[in-house]
Copies of this chain bind each other. A is one copy, B any other.
């Protein structure tokens, strides 16, 4: 049952907020990584590369948890349980550049590897626990 992204949460996702995503390792244990984050208004969007641990994990088990927090205010935060509903290369190269603009204020993602394939994880929130995001 999808939960919605409120206007306040959408605003936080449009800022250079900290975001942590937890995925499940092959043995079912949790893994956590800090990532850049964006939204299309309906999904939480995270950009990664094919073959990374978290990408392999969500292909096996799409269940994730995501934390998004204002770097300057611990009380503007959303803690989310959800599911990766799509893993796509479509628009993924553009998205990593947009994220580099938002987080680093540069026009092009500076750490791109020649042989990597960027993918976007689209996460449908199923339960959003938001604080300070009216």
A residues within 8 Å of B by Cβ? 18, 20, 22-25, 28-34, 63-67, 69, 71-72, 74, 77, 79-81
Contacts of A71 in B (CB 8 A): 71-72, 74
Could you say how many copies of this chain the assembly holds? 2
28 residue pairs of the A-B complex, CB under 8 angstroms, read A18-B18, A20-B20, A20-B32, A20-B67, A22-B22, A22-B30, A24-B28, A24-B29, A25-B81, A29-B63, A29-B81, A30-B30, A30-B63, A30-B64, A31-B65, A31-B81, A32-B32, A32-B65, A32-B67, A32-B79, A32-B80, A33-B67, A33-B79, A34-B67, A34-B69, A34-B74, A34-B77, A34-B79
Contacts of A18 in B (CB 8 A): 18, 69, 74
Contacts of A63 in B (CB 8 A): 28-30
Compute how far the CA of A48 lies from the CA of B132 in the bound complex, rounded to whole angstroms. Answer: 21
Interface SS of A by simple majority = strand
Please state if B34 and A65 are interface contacts (CB–CB under 8 Å): no
Compute how far the CA of A32 lies from the CA of B80 in the bound complex, rounded to whole angstroms. Answer: 7
Contacts of A23 in B (CB 8 A): 30
Q: Which residue of B lies closest to A62 (CB)?
A: B29
Q: Which residue of B lies closest to A32 (CB)?
A: B65
Contacts of A29 in B (CB 8 A): 24, 63, 65, 81
